[in-house]
Structure 1
């Protein structure tokens, strides 16, 4: 079959090719309704499909961005992706999502792949391990925004939670409920992942505020494959904590699984607060006290920052770090 072109549509609608081009690019504010209807009818009747590649080359834009998440299993990550996709849809942009699994090798490959596909910019939850690559993007002024994390020495626009405050809110709530022996469980901290390090620091700072001494055995971290053992070890101490702060949603899942398997009553045997508001928190029994992140606002902000770079609206301005406040959602697990 003959490939339908703009010229065919123009001839069918009895208008110029430039008028069809303006219609296809939605630049028809001053175009008559009859003309628009004729072109729309011609496009439908002829089955015209725009040549996306040719248009991208002409406009020097693929109308596509990349998003590289650290782990797509996190509720926060999926909410951020949704917010970015919503924002991009309004601007007629597409989104390619990549899951790096906190692996710097995968992250590097994804950045290179997205660049090869000529995406207009990238939002990434950085591993922090590809320093030369980040610096190269920065030197090139390639549109790039850090999400959820900072990389020391790399000054890029970034969007994060006030992570220290998140832990402080949790400890405040534990103390308000009468708990003094407060533990915290984290994923592995062998990598410089900003939320983990800052939330741990916030936990220690909050304990000091209430003159509660930091007990090293009350702070544990490890791989998720070992998480049940880690929880078992902490709760088997001769003087175990009365309350546990889950550093993120996946840690919270592990604590709840342990409580179910070992018949731990929440909150009578163990009070729990999780950072990240999970979807089932309000109907789990008992309902779960959480510290929520404004994930949709954060995702939208990251997209706005990226588009400013893509549109070169940030020329001459220094990189900015935007911190969003957490919110305590008081329920029944504490």
Structure 2
């Protein structure tokens, strides 16, 4: 089937190619309403689709950015993506979302794919293992923003939660409840996964500041698939926890599944608090006390910074690490 070209549309509408180009780029200042309607009808009748590759080469912009997330199953990740997509849509940009599954090799392939597609910039939740590749992008002047994780070797604008404050809020809330034995549940503590390390360390420090009177803390870490079994072992002990701190939403799902199957009641048998204000938190029985990340604000900020670099609005700025304040949402689980 013959591809419809701009010249075909111009001939059908009885105008020049330059007028068609102005129409497609939204430049209507010197175009009559009659001409706009005529071109619109021609585009519709011929089912014309602009050649985006040729257009991007001419304009030196693909009007597309890439977002590489560590794990798209996290509530935080999906909310950030939505905020970025909303911001880009308002500016006529498209978003390609890539899920790296915290696998450096997968992340590497996505970086190379996005670069080959000539996206105008990348927002990434980095794995921490592709430092050289990201540095190459920076050396080439490629617009880049990191989300949720710090890579110490790279000077990149980075957006993340004030994880120490989030952990402190969790510790203070449980201390106020007078609990004696707290289980803190986390995925594997990997140095490159900034939120996990910061939250665990800050929570332990906040508890220890109580001195000799501080409650016992049992730290459970491991792959999500192992959390249930480890909780089962912990709760079979005579002095099992009377409170749980889940450091993210995926851990929370495993904890709630365990408590439900074991018929352990919240908050009568064990109190519950977690980071990430999951959608079901306010209608779970009982409603869950959570520490919310302002994910939409964080995603919007990341997009704003990326666009400032893409559009070269501030050529003298230096990369910053920006932390957003967590919000304690008190409900009835502790």
TM range (shorter): over 0.9
Given that 1:288 and 1:331 are in contact with CA atoms closer than 8 Å, whether structure 2 keeps it comes out as: yes
Q: Compute the TM-score of the two structures, normalised by the length of structure 2.
A: 0.95
Residue 7 of structure 1 corresponds to 7
Measure the CA separation in 1 of the matches of 2:118 and 2:54. Answer: 13
Count of residue pairs the alignment pairs up: 333
Q: Give the direction of change, closer, same or farther, for the CA distance of 1:138–1:238 in structure 2 (3 Å limit).
A: farther
Pairing 1:314-333 to 2, within 5 Å after superposition: 314-333=314-333
* More deviation, 182-191/10-19: 10-19
Measure the CA separation in 2 of the matches of 1:237 and 1:134. Answer: 47
Measure the CA separation in 2 of the matches of 1:94 and 1:282. Answer: 33
Pairing 1:112-127 to 2, within 5 Å after superposition: 112-127=112-127
Deviation at 1:280, TM superposition (A): 0.8
Measure the CA separation in 1 of the matches of 2:141 and 2:201. Answer: 33
Matched, 1:153 2:156: no
Residue 188 of structure 1 corresponds to 188
Given that 1:174 and 1:180 are in contact with CA atoms closer than 8 Å, whether structure 2 keeps it comes out as: no
Q: Which runs of 5+ in 2 are unaligned?
A: none
* More deviation, 218-227/170-179: 170-179
* More deviation, 258-267/239-248: 239-248
Measure the CA separation in 1 of the matches of 2:200 and 2:171. Answer: 11
Given that 1:166 and 1:275 are in contact with CA atoms closer than 8 Å, whether structure 2 keeps it comes out as: yes
SS at match of 1:333: coil
Measure the CA separation in 2 of the matches of 1:231 and 1:8. Answer: 67
Pairing 1:221-300 to 2, within 5 Å after superposition: 221-300=221-300
SS at match of 1:309: helix
Residue 77 of structure 2 corresponds to 77
Given that 1:4 and 1:46 are in contact with CA atoms closer than 8 Å, whether structure 2 keeps it comes out as: yes
**Deviation above 6 Å: which 4+ runs of structure 1?**
none
Measure the CA separation in 2 of the matches of 1:2 and 1:207. Answer: 71
Deviation at 1:226, TM superposition (A): 0.8
Measure the CA separation in 2 of the matches of 1:205 and 1:102. Answer: 28
Given that 2:275 and 2:290 are in contact with CA atoms closer than 8 Å, whether structure 1 keeps it comes out as: yes
Deviations 1:293-319, CA, capped at 9 Å, x for gaps: 111111111111111111122322110
Measure the CA separation in 2 of the matches of 1:18 and 1:183. Answer: 67
Deviation at 1:15, TM superposition (A): 2.6
Residue 54 of structure 1 corresponds to 54
Deviations 1:253-301, CA, capped at 9 Å, x for gaps: 0110110111101111100101001111111111111111111111111
* More deviation, 184-193/271-280: 184-193
Measure the CA separation in 2 of the matches of 1:134 and 1:44. Answer: 43
Q: Give the direction of change, closer, same or farther, for the CA distance of 1:23–1:162 in structure 2 (3 Å limit).
A: same
SS at match of 2:183: strand
Q: Give the direction of change, closer, same or farther, for the CA distance of 1:214–1:242 in structure 2 (3 Å limit).
A: closer
Deviation at 1:238, TM superposition (A): 4.1
Q: Compute the TM-score of the two structures, normalised by the length of structure 1.
A: 0.95
Residue 35 of structure 1 corresponds to 35
Given that 2:191 and 2:197 are in contact with CA atoms closer than 8 Å, whether structure 1 keeps it comes out as: no
Given that 1:204 and 1:214 are in contact with CA atoms closer than 8 Å, whether structure 2 keeps it comes out as: no
Pairing 1:168-183 to 2, within 5 Å after superposition: 168-183=168-183
Residue 208 of structure 2 corresponds to 208
